[in-house]
C-alpha cells in the first residue's frame, strides 16, 4: 500500500511529465505548473503535520504561489492580445 507522501511524489512526477510534454501551449504549461505547486504544497503540509510544526510557512508558500499564478495569467493574457493564440511555435520571430 502506498503511503500518502509516496502518492504526492508520484503525482508530482506526473505533473513534471505533463509540464514537459505540453510545452507547445502556454495555458497547458501554466495548468501543469499549478498542479506541481499544489503537490509541493500538499507535501509541505503533510511534512509540517507529521512533525507538528507551525503552519506559518505554508501560508507564505501559498502567497508566493498566488503571485506566481497571477504573473503567469497576465503573461498569457498579454500574449493572446498581441498574437491571438498561446502557441509557442508562432513566436519564432522573437528568437
Instruction: Please compute the mean of the pLDDT values over residues 31-43 and round it to a whole number.
Output: 94
Counting residues of the chain whose pLDDT is more than 70, the rounded percentage is 89
User: 93 pLDDT exceeds 80?
Assistant: no
Given this model, what pLDDT does residue 74 score? Answer: 93
- How high does pLDDT run on average in the chain? 87
- The answer on pLDDT for 88 being more than 90 is no
Question: What is the domain extent for residue 61?
Answer: 4-94
Signed CA dihedral, 86, 90, 93, 95: sign only: positive
Give the range among 7-11, 19-23, 39-43, 86-90 with minimum mean pLDDT.
86-90
For position 26, which CATH number holds?
1.10.287.3510
Q: Are 34 and 42 in contact (CB under 8 A)?
A: no
The total number of structural domains that make up the chain = 1
Amino acid at each position: 500500500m502506498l503511503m500518502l507522501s509516496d502518492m504526492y511524489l508520484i503525482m508530482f512526477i506526473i505533473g513534471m511529465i505533463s509540464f514537459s510534454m505540453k510545452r507547445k501551449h502556454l495555458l497547458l504549461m501554466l495548468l501543469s505548473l499549478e498542479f506541481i505547486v499544489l503537490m509541493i504544497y500538499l507535501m509541505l503540509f503533510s511534512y509540517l503535520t507529521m512533525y507538528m510544526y507551525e503552519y506559518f510557512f505554508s501560508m507564505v508558500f501559498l502567497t508566493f504561489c498566488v503571485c506566481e499564478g497571477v504573473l503567469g495569467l497576465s503573461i498569457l493574457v498579454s500574449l493572446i492580445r498581441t498574437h491571438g493564440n498561446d502557441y509557442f511555435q508562432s513566436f519564432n520571430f522573437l528568437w
